[in-house]
Structure 1
Amino acid sequence: MSSLTVEQIYLYPLENARNHHTDTYELVHDEENPIPVLRRGQKFTLALRFSDRAYDKTKDIIRLIFSFGPDPITIKGTQGVVTVDPTKKYADTGKLWNVGLLALMENTLTVEIYSPPDCPVGIWSLKVETNTQKSSEPDKIQNYENDLYLLFNPWNCDDLVCMPEKRLLDEYILTDVGKIWVGPYGSSRGREWVFGQFDACILPAAMLMFERSGLPSTSRGDPVKVVRVISKLVNSNDDDGILIGKWDGEYDDGTAPAAWSGSIEILQKFLDTQEPVGYGQCWVFAGVVTTICRALGIPSRVVSNLVSGHDSNSTITIDKYFDEKNVELEDYNTDSIWNFHVWNDVWMTRPDLPEGYGGWQAVDATPQETSDSVYQCGPASVYAIKNGAIGCNYDVPFMIAAVNADIMRWKRNPECDLGYSKISCNKYHIGRVILTKKPFMYDPNGDRDREDVTLQYKSKEGSKAERLSLLNAVRSSHIGKVIYELPDAELGDVEFDLEELDLINIGDDFNLIVKMKNKSNEIRHIEALLSANSVFYTGIIHNSIKKAELKYSLAPNSSEKMKLVIRSDEYLDKLVEYCNIKIFAIANVTETSQTWADEDDFQVIKPKIKIKVPSSVPIRTPTVITLRFVNPLKKTLTNCQFNISGPSIIRSQVMMHPDVKPGAKVKVTTEIMLTSVGDKKLVATFSSKELLDITGSAKIEVFDDNEE
């Protein structure tokens, strides 16, 4: 009897996908060449059709060999070899590959396969070997013609990425449109972002990324190592990664970060060109990270830290230096304060850490500081960050500084041993609030869907627990210990308070106001410097808008306000992307040598795009949508374009628009075709050379007239 000849290997792409929570992947639905997308640690069905005869249980030998990466080997987990046992009806679960015989009909054999919950994630190949008992003939081999994706399985309690509260996976794995909070504290807003993790380009782009990562095949089942590589390869600083970071406002040779509406176009361009894509900033990096993580099966959320510390020298402080005349020493000031910074949390168990350090882990793909000599960050246990547990891999001290560092200001003083005296210490400014999107909510017109997760990252500001965790972390830095052991500057008898600004609409005037109160019985002479600067959201100053040196004589036990008025025509032409402004004040009291300083950031508010679209439309029906807003500037907008996208609605459609005169209405109309039923989300952005980051979104319910 000759060996069986396999005519077809069929993996039931759609049927298996429904059981594996992968039926929303476009690869599965490809009409010409559907690709199986499965989750590890879960059974799936496979059929073999033979061309010459039926399977003989007593004589035929059938082996299925699943292989991953170069040089696959079973002992390292990169190969699974299973032999069909006619007496075994169902595949066992456990730590090894397994097979069970489900049905035998004429020349077709149907089996059930089980993959281990820790096997590598990515593209596997399959070949079938057939032979007969006691045969001396070589095996007949038939290769499965398609790729086979195996993903992480957060629904399986044996997978390290399993979430105990399964309903949250609807948000952190299956939701393909979300929000990313951007902007300074007090004026932040949820910016719409299309993750689009089920688009046909996403998994292939992720595989290209892993090819360039240098991560061994044997490590691609470990979520700790996988997400660390993602944080490294989503930026292109050390490798040919996905996105080029840029923050200088000059994007003519690429796409301005503010023009992106989601991850699909970025990953499609990376896949098509095989080159890094320009350009990204922290929230763009974070959007792409969540897309890749959710596509691979790792629960992920985007996290925004409003007022974020960037500690460049591992002191867990943000230090600012001034000379004797209160002039900032820019060359010394390597630390910075970002108006906001965005990273990701991913969910996993951490077997490499003590019990209790699993759960959410911070991962940051924005290239700020190197870790292990390359630009990567995390996964850092959020529990470790909160408790100052600096010995827990990876990059916990850097993340602690981002959310909880103290701001220390130093003034040159030759009489001090360090050459500088501490003039102020602000323990409350960094990490004002940490936000993410609330599960199961999406508010296209407001921020009702924002969730405050600050207390997950640190104890209540100013509490004993918060101070103890920070001081515990400072133990890792010799310089940090020296700095924190120094006493704070003594409080003087003049109180100063920089007023935080309310929302300022673009084109409005505003005032920089400092309240002063003399609590002494003697006159006090005040010398102050007030300034307003346009800044990038990273805290880097771009333009000086206005500054003033002021002198006051403050009567005993009296109060007064110093004020600097900034008119719209003084700042409009000096704004850079996102329209952020930093106000700063520093003051000296002549009689006591008391020095005080403070600063605040705010964003000039821009209009949103209003999207006019029917609340519900029938499937496969052309639908007209209208986008509009008013140019708020007193100058013409040039190089104008709209970007519209939405999963299952429209794939990143770019529409150019003529120049827009000052104060003019901007309006465009286009037509979209909706191809799947359910609640859909549409996201739009507008960008021009003069004005960026105009966004809007809308919900659409798509129904099928033919359904009863």
Structure 2
Amino acid sequence: MEDLSIHHVNLELSENRERHRTGGFSASNSLVVRRGDPFRISVQFKGRPFNPNTDSLKIDVMLGGLYTMMPVTFSRKESSAPWNACIDSNKSTPQNLSIFISSPAFASVGCYKFQLCLSTQNNRGSCVCGSFVVLCNPWCSEDAVFIPFEDEREEYVLSDSGLLFMGTPMNPVSRPWSFDQYEPGVLEACLDLLQVSPQHQVNRTKDYLKRNNPVYISRVVSAMINCEDDRGVLKGNWSEDFKEGVHPSKWAGSGDILKQWAKFGYNPVKYGQCWVFAAVMCTVMRVLGIPCRVVTNYNSAHDTNANLVIEEHYSETGQKLNYSKDSVWNFHVWVECWMTRKDLGSDMNGWQVLDPTPQQRSEGVFCCGPAPVKAIKYQCLDRPFDIPFVYAEVNAAVHTIIWSQGNVVSFSTDTERVGSFICTKAVGFPRLQNITGDYKSIKSSSSTLSSRSSIVSDDSTLSRGASSQRVTAFLTLDKSPVAGEPIRFTVKVVNRQRVPKKLIVHLNAQAKEYNHGPSDAFWENHGVMQLAPMEVKVLQQQIHPAQYKNVLGDNLINLAVVLEDTATRERVLAAEEFNISSPELIIKKDSIVPNKEHSATVTFINLFSHPVSGVLTVTGAGLINGRTQFRLNSLRPGGKVEQRFSFTPSMSGVKMLHASLSLSNSNVTVRGFKMVSINSV
């Protein structure tokens, strides 16, 4: 009889994908498993039957220069090694052995090679080689990324779509995003990211050893999402010139970015801004098995000199001036990853801030975190990594200064504005979740439509005039502004003295990007107001669509009022920054099952005051292969258009249909999304 040899090794892809919740990666044709849980392979022999008394098997597992040898035993109890392999007697025969391979819960993340070797009594042997990918395991209680709730694992690891929040605290805008972790080529690009990193290039063995730690992995990924120090994924651009690449607001998912980066030799993709950096990092972390969510911090301070103070400067007529390197971004987007912190102690376990947007160097590299959210809330500023920087982003004070002819005429302090609202997508639902209380102690709840009044500080060394409040101003938007409708707002003025007042009133509006100072005023109004003793007056104002149509898009509006007392020359400032909501696309669809063609309809109503045209793009990870595009011809104001399209879902689960209409001759993009539940047949 022919001697025993290995004929074939079956990696049991279907069973292992289900067991390890990696079925979404089926497009890669790789065995993808999560550390800490066993996976099964089947060995088919040819020749005589396998004899456990005379024949033996061993498995060599290699990750770069790291090497582990496992004898295949008949019981897990026979081996106490971190890696072990044992025969499943219930599914084995002398011609076909079923073997469970178990990796430790602290195994390094990466693409492993293995070699299965057979030795017989005649010292003849045969070997078969293969490979598999090991990811972190949030389902394993011994893994550092274990998260105890199934709905959170579904949301923060398995979900391939979500919402990013932009706009302002008073009017958050949800932007649909496709994380695309299951799209062909994305898994490979995320693994390549680790290989291309400087840490790996400098010392591969050391890098492989450290990849067992999510703290280390997250810092590598944070640095590699931007390209400032390495061959990272994205090039940031905060100018107005995007001719050499894609405007950041045009991206709708991570897949195109990661695949383009890998396809063109790991050259950075142009361009990204904070939400793009964060969303791509979320994709990479979810692929690697580390729970991750995208977080928006509204009124986020960029404190360049680390003094926890941001200065904002205004002219005497209320125009915001670009006098300071410090700034308050209307919103800033980063990610949080869930992990234990053995390096800091169990009180720092849980969500960790990571920010791939290149703002400030950390240990010489443009990355940020992981900074425990608990450390930020409880002001543990002496611990790594980058906690003081993140603390300032959510807690810095804002000093507002009014200038007149080179002199400071008013000074005020606001300790509530920065980090006033922090949110993420809710678990299982397409809406936001307020997580401000995770970062800071909430003194009192405030309306999202509250106004902000700045008054000369009583104790300020820069204040001019009396030490008591004489006039107070409040500026309030009547409703959240919508494109095509007038912006209506109210200015309430209070005379707190028992003497009459004559006030000069300056109103102006400036367009600004979320992270820049504003441009020149596009609307202004000036006048004089008389106030009787202790009188309260209310001014009703509006800005018509024709007056703001040239600043629509991703711009925000800085609206300010300055009151000047003609008798004392004192100034009072009230300001509000807000966004103008665009119309939404409405998507309607029928009930859906996998692998069958379905149709849906996108509806757009032109609420703008002028005709529009553009390109409609429809995408959906797991629903549409690539993208479907349609041309929209000139549509009159108030006009309605419906576009029907077909798609064939490739997998079950909750997926997102995403439609975007890029209007011609403007930076406006109209968006809409529909969550689709695909039932298995």
**1:202-213 pair list within 5 angstroms:** 202-213=186-197
Deviation at 1:532, TM superposition (A): 0.4
**Cα pair distance change 1:3/1:305, threshold 3 Å:** farther
Native 8 Å contact 1:247 1:536 kept in 2? no
Partner residue in 1 for 2:14: 14
Distance in structure 2 (CA, Å) of the matches to 1:677 and 1:354: 40
Q: Which runs of 5+ in 2 are unaligned?
A: 200-206, 446-456
Could you tell me which amino acid in structure 1 is paired with residue 331 of structure 2?
A: F
Say which SS state the counterpart of residue 83 (structure 1) adopts. strand
Distance in structure 1 (CA, Å) of the matches to 2:545 and 2:115: 70
User: Does 1:655 find its partner at 2:629?
Assistant: yes
Deviation at 1:257, TM superposition (A): 2.7
Tell me which of 47, 52, 62 is aligned to 1:57: 52
User: Does 1:671 find its partner at 2:653?
Assistant: no
Partner residue in 1 for 2:72: 84
Deviation at 1:578, TM superposition (A): 1.9
User: Does 1:96 find its partner at 2:87?
Assistant: no
Partner residue in 2 for 1:278: 270
**Cα pair distance change 1:677/1:111, threshold 3 Å:** closer
Native 8 Å contact 1:92 1:114 kept in 2? no
User: Does 1:633 find its partner at 2:605?
Assistant: no
Native 8 Å contact 2:339 2:349 kept in 1? yes
User: Does 1:455 find its partner at 2:455?
Assistant: no
Could you tell me which amino acid in structure 2 is paired with residue 605 of structure 1?
A: S
Partner residue in 1 for 2:306: 314
Distance in structure 2 (CA, Å) of the matches to 1:622 and 1:211: 39
**1:557-596 pair list within 5 angstroms:** 557-561=534-538, 565-575=542-552, 577-592=553-568, 594-596=570-572
**Cα pair distance change 1:92/1:397, threshold 3 Å:** farther
Partner residue in 2 for 1:23: 23
Could you tell me which amino acid in structure 2 is paired with residue 509 of structure 1?
A: P
Native 8 Å contact 2:198 2:230 kept in 1? no
Native 8 Å contact 2:499 2:533 kept in 1? yes
Native 8 Å contact 2:510 2:520 kept in 1? yes
Native 8 Å contact 1:621 1:673 kept in 2? yes
Native 8 Å contact 1:631 1:660 kept in 2? no
Q: Deviating runs (4+, > 6 A) in structure 1? A: 91-95, 323-327, 412-415, 419-422, 485-488
Partner residue in 1 for 2:453: none
Tell me which of 290, 294, 314 is aligned to 1:298: 290
Moved more, 262-271 or 357-366: 262-271
Native 8 Å contact 1:259 1:692 kept in 2? no
Partner residue in 2 for 1:473: none
Deviation at 1:360, TM superposition (A): 0.7
Per-residue CA deviations over 1:318-369 (Å, capped at 9, x if unaligned) read: 2124578977552x31122222222111100011113311101111122222
Distance in structure 2 (CA, Å) of the matches to 1:93 and 1:521: 89
Native 8 Å contact 1:381 1:392 kept in 2? no
Distance in structure 2 (CA, Å) of the matches to 1:62 and 1:3: 15
User: Does 1:404 find its partner at 2:379?
Assistant: no
Say which SS state the counterpart of residue 150 (structure 1) adopts. strand
Deviation at 1:634, TM superposition (A): 4.1
Distance in structure 2 (CA, Å) of the matches to 1:676 and 1:197: 13
Could you tell me which amino acid in structure 2 is paired with residue 607 of structure 1?
A: P
Distance in structure 1 (CA, Å) of the matches to 2:444 and 2:167: 24
Moved more, 504-513 or 7-16: 504-513
Deviation at 1:654, TM superposition (A): 4.0
Native 8 Å contact 1:644 1:652 kept in 2? no
Native 8 Å contact 2:36 2:102 kept in 1? yes
Partner residue in 2 for 1:478: none
Deviation at 1:686, TM superposition (A): 1.7
User: Does 1:143 find its partner at 2:120?
Assistant: no
User: Does 1:350 find its partner at 2:326?
Assistant: no
**Cα pair distance change 1:422/1:132, threshold 3 Å:** farther
**Cα pair distance change 1:414/1:499, threshold 3 Å:** closer
Say which SS state the counterpart of residue 198 (structure 2) adopts. coil
Moved more, 165-174 or 338-347: 165-174
User: Does 1:494 find its partner at 2:471?
Assistant: yes
Deviation at 1:600, TM superposition (A): 1.1
User: Does 1:426 find its partner at 2:414?
Assistant: yes
Partner residue in 2 for 1:287: 279
Tell me which of 481, 492, 500 is aligned to 1:504: 481
Could you tell me which amino acid in structure 1 is paired with residue 521 of structure 2?
A: S
Per-residue CA deviations over 1:182-237 (Å, capped at 9, x if unaligned) read: 21122213222222322232210101211222231221121011112222222223
Partner residue in 2 for 1:477: none
Could you tell me which amino acid in structure 2 is paired with residue 210 of structure 1?
A: L
Say which SS state the counterpart of residue 117 (structure 2) adopts. strand
Deviation at 1:14, TM superposition (A): 1.4
Partner residue in 1 for 2:97: 109
**Cα pair distance change 1:310/1:659, threshold 3 Å:** farther
Q: Which runs of 5+ in 1 are unaligned?
A: 73-78, 443-448, 464-482
Native 8 Å contact 2:495 2:533 kept in 1? yes
Aligned-residue sequence identity (percent) comes to 28
Task: Report the TM-score when normalising by structure 2.
Answer: 0.88
Deviation at 1:39, TM superposition (A): 0.5
Tell me which of 108, 113, 124 is aligned to 1:120: 108
* Count of aligned pairs: 654
Deviation at 1:596, TM superposition (A): 2.9
Partner residue in 1 for 2:328: 337
Tell me which of 192, 201, 214 is aligned to 1:223: 214
Tell me which of 172, 180, 188 is aligned to 2:156: 172
Native 8 Å contact 2:236 2:270 kept in 1? yes
Could you tell me which amino acid in structure 2 is paired with residue 342 of structure 1?
A: V
Say which SS state the counterpart of residue 469 (structure 2) adopts. coil
Distance in structure 2 (CA, Å) of the matches to 1:496 and 1:223: 50
**1:188-207 pair list within 5 angstroms:** 188-207=172-191
Deviation at 1:413, TM superposition (A): 11
Native 8 Å contact 2:318 2:560 kept in 1? no
User: Does 1:693 find its partner at 2:677?
Assistant: no
Deviation at 1:298, TM superposition (A): 0.8
Deviation at 1:515, TM superposition (A): 2.2
Task: Report the TM-score when normalising by structure 1.
Answer: 0.85
Distance in structure 2 (CA, Å) of the matches to 1:438 and 1:694: 23
Deviation at 1:510, TM superposition (A): 2.6
Could you tell me which amino acid in structure 1 is paired with residue 24 of structure 2?
A: T
Distance in structure 2 (CA, Å) of the matches to 1:118 and 1:703: 35
Distance in structure 2 (CA, Å) of the matches to 1:251 and 1:399: 29
**Cα pair distance change 1:552/1:414, threshold 3 Å:** closer
Could you tell me which amino acid in structure 2 is paired with residue 458 of structure 1?
A: K
Native 8 Å contact 1:632 1:662 kept in 2? no
Could you tell me which amino acid in structure 2 is paired with residue 99 of structure 1?
A: A
Native 8 Å contact 1:584 1:598 kept in 2? yes
Say which SS state the counterpart of residue 290 (structure 1) adopts. helix
Native 8 Å contact 2:312 2:324 kept in 1? yes
Native 8 Å contact 1:181 1:189 kept in 2? yes
Native 8 Å contact 1:428 1:461 kept in 2? no
Could you tell me which amino acid in structure 1 is paired with residue 437 of structure 2?
A: L
Deviation at 1:2, TM superposition (A): 11
Distance in structure 2 (CA, Å) of the matches to 1:389 and 1:93: 43
Native 8 Å contact 1:423 1:596 kept in 2? no
Native 8 Å contact 1:424 1:596 kept in 2? no
Deviation at 1:170, TM superposition (A): 1.8
**Cα pair distance change 1:662/1:279, threshold 3 Å:** farther
Deviation at 1:113, TM superposition (A): 1.2
Per-residue CA deviations over 1:492-543 (Å, capped at 9, x if unaligned) read: 2211222245212212223454322121223344345432011112243245
**Cα pair distance change 1:298/1:491, threshold 3 Å:** farther
Distance in structure 2 (CA, Å) of the matches to 1:97 and 1:564: 71
Distance in structure 2 (CA, Å) of the matches to 1:321 and 1:258: 29
Distance in structure 2 (CA, Å) of the matches to 1:675 and 1:260: 23
Partner residue in 2 for 1:446: none
Say which SS state the counterpart of residue 581 (structure 1) adopts. strand
Say which SS state the counterpart of residue 666 (structure 2) adopts. coil
